[in-house]
Amino acid sequence: MTAIEVAGLGYTHPGSDQPALADLDVSIPAGRVTLVTGRLGAGCSTLLEILAGVAPRLTGGTLTGTVRVLGVDPSTREGGRTLVGRVVMLLPTPSSQLSGMTSTVRDEVAFGPANLGWDRQRIARVVDGELDRLGIAGLADRDPATLSGGELQRVILAGCLAMEPEVLLLDEPAAELDPPMAERLYALLPELTATTVVLATTDVDRASPHVQEVVVLDGGGVVAAGSPSEALGQEAVVGLDAGSTVARIVYEAGGRGRLPIDVAGVREWIAS
Amino acid sequence: MTLRLLALVPLAVGINLAMGQIVSLLALPVYLDTVGTVLVAALAGPWAALATGLVSQLILGLFVNSVLLAFLLVQLLVAVYAGVMCCHFRVFRSAPRAGGSGLVLGILAASASWPISLLVFGGVTSPGVTLVTAVLGGLGLPLRWAVYVASLATDIVDKTATFLVVYAVLSALPGRLAGRFPAAARARGVAG
Amino acid sequence: MIRHVEGTGILHRIHPLTAFGLAVSISTSVFVAPPPLGPVAVLAGTVILAVVSRLPSALGRTVVVSVPFWGFLLLIHGLLRHDPGRAVVIGSRVSTVILVFAAVVTAVQPARLVDALAALRAPFSVGYVFSATLLVVPRLRDRARAISEAQQCRGLRVAGSPLGRIRAVVPLTVPLVLSALSEVDERAVALATRGVGGRAVRTVLHPPNAGGLDVAMGILGVGILVGSFFWRVG
Amino acid sequence: MTGIQLHDVHFAYGARPVLCGVSGQCGPGEVVGLTGPNGAGKTTLTRLLMALEHPGAGRVEIGGRCTDGLGPADLADQVGYVFQHAGRQFFSRTVLADVAFGLRQLGWTAARAGAAANAALAEVDATRMAGMHPHDLSPADHKRIALAAALAVDPSVLILDEPTQGMDRPGMLRAAAVIRRRKASGTAVLLVTHDMAMLAECADRVWHLEEGHLVLDAPAPGLLRDPELLHRHGFTEPAQVAVGRTAVRAGEPAPIRLADVVSAVRDRLRSPPAPTAG
């Protein structure tokens, strides 16, 4: 079953004459973790903004082609309203996502569910669940304005998950986290089995062990899609210098065809 | 109110209140505390500017010094003036035009704050202005005129500088932002 | 900026809107009550309220702001115009307003005020703009400082000739404003993605409730206003 | 002695100690990677070096001068500093004008400043951005432009706070190449980073700060080749080092830099070693 279906998608940012995405076709399966990657500027973040319905409705720009998220067109006003709370996006900068309307972490996590109009018992239940899942129950009574960037990003993620979204979009979620914290965030993703997770990042080495599907973009279109070893090991992808460092090393050492993307793969490759 | 306006207003208020940090570092005799309001007038029109002015003064009044609440009307005057000037007169087409509009606003703002300073505060406002007032009073000028002259001098300098700073910002606006605030191009007279 | 301080005093315990109503009523009374004794009496009453509510930081803040103000008043009205009584009247009025709002703002947590407004069905935008501004202001102030440090590390001098200082305005203000503007979209996106703008009516997480203390403070507020009015006319 | 010298540096914000007796030196032509968890005092140390703060006790010397009584603008002709949030310093309409700004502040003529700015942009491979608006660029390009602005002064000391944050691998390798070139011409470089791959590319030594104490001052290659030492300080081994280890014979030191790992793998593919016993 697919959660997201995109066909012939083109998009140009406001004030720009270069299209950011051109004739892009992709389908993303429901209930799995999909990594969208490419070189910087390949259009991964832009794709997420379109899926979230914020581009072009909120941020402007021009869109062509068709987009269906959970069967709905997020670029229309009506479609966008239908998807409120069902499609949720986490941005790279935690500080600009903080609502400011709450004095405790617990209430900050409850901000999204409260906007959906849920009753207080249901909110309390999901908030406690997410605080536990992300290991931040100890922060529950802290003032969110006093947290570090890494703590705050987990609070905002908990706030996103507390809305029980069907689709979770993560745009460079670890950009402001230190490596151990980034690792913990990626490792959490496969546990979200009830949710379709789409992760956009160039941090492929750290993220790829925790994803089930990969889509590689370049020049505004798709160059490869499939399982991590299928997509990231393709010579065309490695040749772009996008994706796995390990595969790139083997490529530069003269390796061709399907390339290994992890250290174990290299051992086999050398042995064969 | 759209979500973008909802996001813009707090940031513009933040600009108003953060300007004090910069002018005190540079020890300049201006406030520049309406830069955010005038900027929003150019970027998003008079209504957004009015909201920015209102929120600025309320936050200042509640969290910094409640006597500033008395000058709420002056902030709103700045917002309305800037909104009208941006919509209809393209005041940010050139630096002299921007500076001139700021100068006129300085006269209007001083005239509006004059009765408040005089009647509510007995002529005592910010330390710098009050010192000028006291010197003029000591020279024999009647209090009401001493207050007017002192606030006229500071407001003209301040509002002219404010409009020039906004002019500098608008002319340095990158294409990515300009594309997102189409009204800015109108205020600069480069399109529409 | 005045910051909220946790506490258990009277102003901490009453409904946020009762507290603000009381502040408005006292601020009005100090202008209604007949000078010279009226304003002095209202100021004295407000000081007692702040002491009883255990808000020393609001009192301290008021003293800090009031001292230079009284100094100038005494200079202009006492020395230059030989009317110290007027200085006392204006000074009492202004210090009362400063103190009563400082006390209420110190006692009422912003999030509680926002919840109180939401419980009265105020639009989401009112509460959001108020609280988002409180969050943004200190951040932009910090950023203004960071920008000035970055430019100084590139050789910009912020002290010295007036012309040099005027020239420094652009490298200090333009980056601040542009960085603030480039956050607009990000913040709007964050709101949209956290369920703002949907069809639902927002749930108020902690609706504040009003009790007997609120009735008493309400009577006090109205009483002060009515009392000062009759003192003036009678 | 130029470069960076720290003599028993103490610093506290109010009652909270941030740096407790940090000593170390980074000489000309040396690249030191400064690591540590968030809140360990890394940023404070760079602020002391830039004379944005002054030590409570001890001495900070940079470019041969003690920072006591100096301010950041006094050091601007000798020290280049790239801030973590580099995008926040730009205000000009073009990248070129912004890079030249610092030089003009030092009293250089417009012609000399323009030439140096162009050369610095070429050095970071950003010549095509010279005429663009800095705020139209990505955060990764902001880092690149800020690096060019720091290089344009031809500083004897470079302080870089997370210079590769937000960059992809090609961007990181480009930045590393620039740092190696500057190191070869005698610049002392302090590199604050979480990026192990970046340390592998260009660091000579690593200073590791924990709670204000310098707990490790070790050669970078040795640290990167020692999985146990890495783990003890909360680092993860960069993938390239692990690949390098599979490519060399047991007992041989694993290559660290990406280019060396590539040639080791290439050699291994050409001439597989005789299987070793055990």
> From the CA of C139, how many Å to the nearest CA of chain B?
8
Contact check, Cβ <8 Å, D38/A150? yes
> From the CA of B170, how many Å to the nearest CA of chain C?
9
Contact check, Cβ <8 Å, C173/B32? yes
Contact check, Cβ <8 Å, C194/A88? yes
Selection from D98, B75, B167, B86 nearest residue C177 by Cα: B167
Of B10, B43, B127, the CB nearest to C133: B10
Within 8 A of B133 by CB-CB distance, chain C residues are 76
ipTM of the complex: 0.93
pLDDT at position D249 is: 84
CB contact set of C220 (below 8 Å; sequence gap of 6+): C22
Within 8 A of D196 by CB-CB distance, chain A residues are 179
Cα within 13 Å of Cα(B121), Cβ side: 28
Q: What ranges do the domains of chain A cover?
A: 2-86+165-221, 95-163
Contact check, Cβ <8 Å, D262/A253? yes
Flag whether residue A187 sits within 8 Å of chain D, measured between CB atoms. no
Homologous superfamily assigned to A2-86+165-221: P-loop containing nucleotide triphosphate hydrolases (3.40.50.300)
CB contact set of B57 (below 8 Å; sequence gap of 6+): B68, B69, B71, B72, B75, B76
Of A81, A85, A96, the CB nearest to C190: A96
SS (H, E, C) D79-129: EEEECCCHHHHCCCCCHHHHHHHHHHHCCCCHHHHHHHHHHHHHHCCCHHH
Length of chain B, in residues: 192
Question: Residues of B numbered 172-191 whose beta carbons fall under 8 angstroms of chain D's beta carbons: which are they?
Answer: 172, 174-177
Flag whether residue A38 sits within 8 Å of chain C, measured between CB atoms. no
- What subunits make at least 3 CB pairs under 8 angstroms with A? B, C, D
Instruction: Fill in the amino acid letter for C53.
Output: S
Distance of alpha carbon A158 from alpha carbon A143, whole angstroms: 15
Mean pLDDT of chain C: 91
Flag whether residue D134 sits within 8 Å of chain B, measured between CB atoms. yes
Distance of alpha carbon D204 from alpha carbon D256, whole angstroms: 12
Structure token pair of residue A139 = 């922060």
**pLDDT: which is higher, A172 or D249:** A172
Structure token pair of residue B111 = 């005239």
**CA–CA distances in Å: residue C56 to residues B98, C15, C66, D222:** 46, 21, 15, 58
C:D CB pairs within 8 Å: 58
Please report which confidence band the pLDDT of residue D275 belongs to, taking 50, 70 and 90 as the band edges: low
Structure token pair of residue A224 = 């490869």
C94-113 average pLDDT score? 94
D262-267 average pLDDT score? 92
Contact check, Cβ <8 Å, D246/A270? yes
Sheet containing strand D65-66, strands side by side:
D16-26, D4-13, D57-62, D65-66
Of C149, C174, C175, the CB nearest to D72: C149
Contact check, Cβ <8 Å, D169/A180? no
Sheet containing strand D205-210, strands side by side:
D79-82, D157-161, D188-192, D31-35, D205-210, D213-219
Please report which confidence band the pLDDT of residue D273 belongs to, taking 50, 70 and 90 as the band edges: low
Of D140, D242, D269, the CB nearest to A263: D242
**CA–CA distances in Å: residue D196 to residues D54, D193, D230, D248:** 30, 8, 10, 21
Mean pLDDT of chain D: 92
Of C127, C136, C189, the CB nearest to A101: C127
Within 8 A of D269 by CB-CB distance, chain A residues are 253-255, 270
Helices C37-52/C84-107 angle, 10° precision: 30
CB contact set of B149 (below 8 Å; sequence gap of 6+): B132, B136, B141
Within 8 A of D101 by CB-CB distance, chain C residues are 154, 171
Nearest chain B residue to C30, by CA: B120
Within 8 A of C192 by CB-CB distance, chain A residues are 52-54, 58, 80, 84
Query: Is the distance from CB of C192 to CB of A54 less than 8 angstroms?
Result: yes
Contact check, Cβ <8 Å, B51/C129? yes
Flag whether residue C134 sits within 8 Å of chain A, measured between CB atoms. yes
Structure token pair of residue B42 = 């150019």
Distance of alpha carbon C110 from alpha carbon A152, whole angstroms: 20
Top residue of C126, C194, C196 to mutate, by most chain A CBs within 10 Å, is: C194
Contact check, Cβ <8 Å, C155/D106? yes
pLDDT digit string (tens) for C181-209? Answer: 999 999 999 999 999 988 888 999 998 88
| Rounded percentage of chain B residues whose pLDDT exceeds 90 | 57
Instruction: Fill in the amino acid letter for D74.
Output: D
Nearest chain A residue to B185, by CA: A15
Nearest chain D residue to B179, by CA: D136
β D4-13/D16-26 pair status: antiparallel
Nearest chain D residue to B176, by CA: D136
pLDDT digit string (tens) for D126-146? Answer: 999 999 999 999 999 999 999
Within 8 A of B8 by CB-CB distance, chain A residues are none
Helices B143-171/C169-193 angle, 10° precision: 70
Q: Report CA B70 to chain centroid distance, whole Å.
A: 16
**Coil vs helix vs strand at A200:** strand
Contact check, Cβ <8 Å, A178/D38? yes
Please report which confidence band the pLDDT of residue D278 belongs to, taking 50, 70 and 90 as the band edges: very low
Cα within 13 Å of Cα(B41), Cβ side: 30
**Coil vs helix vs strand at A225:** strand
> From the CA of B48, how many Å to the nearest CA of chain C?
12
CB contact set of C98 (below 8 Å; sequence gap of 6+): B65, B66, B67, C61, C62, C65, C66
> From the CA of D259, how many Å to the nearest CA of chain A?
8
pLDDT digit string (tens) for B79-138? Answer: 999 999 988 888 999 999 999 999 999 999 999 999 998 888 888 877 778 888 888 888
Mean pLDDT of chain B: 90
Within 8 A of B171 by CB-CB distance, chain D residues are 93
Flag whether residue A57 sits within 8 Å of chain B, measured between CB atoms. no
Contact check, Cβ <8 Å, B179/A59? no
End-to-end CA distance of chain D: 51
β A213-218/A196-200 pair status: unpaired
CB contact set of A197 (below 8 Å; sequence gap of 6+): A32, A33, A34, A167, A168, A170, A189
Length of chain C, in residues: 234
> From the CA of B175, how many Å to the nearest CA of chain A?
6
- What subunits make at least 3 CB pairs under 8 angstroms with D? A, B, C
Of C76, C97, C188, the CB nearest to B66: C97
CB atoms within 10 A of CB C36: 13
Residue ranges of chain A with pLDDT lower than 70? none
pLDDT at position C26 is: 95
Q: Is the pLDDT of residue C97 over 90?
A: yes
Q: What is the dihedral of CA C110, C115, C117, C119, to 10 degrees?
A: -170
Distance of alpha carbon A166 from alpha carbon A193, whole angstroms: 10
Q: Is the pLDDT of residue B182 over 90?
A: no
Q: Is the pLDDT of residue D271 over 80?
A: no
**Peptide bond connecting A56 to the previous residue in cis, omega within 30 degrees of 0:** yes
**Coil vs helix vs strand at D242:** helix
Nearest chain D residue to A175, by CA: D166
Q: Is the pLDDT of residue B191 over 70?
A: no
β A62-69/A2-12 pair status: antiparallel
Contact check, Cβ <8 Å, A100/C134? yes
Q: What is the H or E stretch that residue A34 is in?
A: strand A33-38
Nearest chain C residue to B134, by CA: C76
Q: Is the pLDDT of residue B192 over 50?
A: no
Query: Is the distance from CB of C81 to CB of C90 less than 8 angstroms?
Result: no
Sheet containing strand A33-38, strands side by side:
A87-90, A167-171, A196-200, A33-38, A213-218, A221-226
Question: Residues of B numbered 119-178 whose beta carbons fall under 8 angstroms of chain D's beta carbons: which are they?
Answer: 171-172, 174-177
Distance of alpha carbon B133 from alpha carbon C73, whole angstroms: 11
Within 8 A of C202 by CB-CB distance, chain A residues are 114-115, 117
Instruction: Fill in the amino acid letter for A222.
Output: V
CB atoms within 10 A of CB D19: 26
Top residue of D52, D91, D135, D137 to mutate, by most chain B CBs within 10 Å, is: D135
A:D CB pairs within 8 Å: 78
Distance of alpha carbon D111 from alpha carbon D114, whole angstroms: 5
Flag whether residue B4 sits within 8 Å of chain A, measured between CB atoms. yes
pLDDT digit string (tens) for A153-165? Answer: 999 999 999 999 9
C144-154 average pLDDT score? 95
Show the domains of chain B with their CATH numbers: 3-188 (1.10.1760.20)
Q: What ranges do the domains of chain C cover?
A: 10-108+208-233, 123-193
pLDDT digit string (tens) for A52-100? Answer: 999 899 888 999 999 999 999 999 999 999 999 999 999 998 888 998 8
Flag whether residue D133 sits within 8 Å of chain B, measured between CB atoms. yes
What DSSP string runs through B117-146? HHHHHTT--SHHHHHHHHHHHHTT--HHHH
Selection from D3, D116, D1 nearest residue D49 by Cα: D3
Buried b (16+ CB within 10 A) or exposed e, C142-174: ebbebbbbbbbbbbbbbeeeeeebeebbbbbbb
**Peptide bond connecting C36 to the previous residue in cis, omega within 30 degrees of 0:** yes
Nearest chain A residue to B176, by CA: A15
Q: Which residues pair with A27 in a beta bridge?
A: A5
Within 8 A of B179 by CB-CB distance, chain A residues are 13-16, 60
pLDDT at position D125 is: 96
Out of A128-142, C64-78, C118-132, least confident range:
C64-78
Contact check, Cβ <8 Å, A14/B4? no
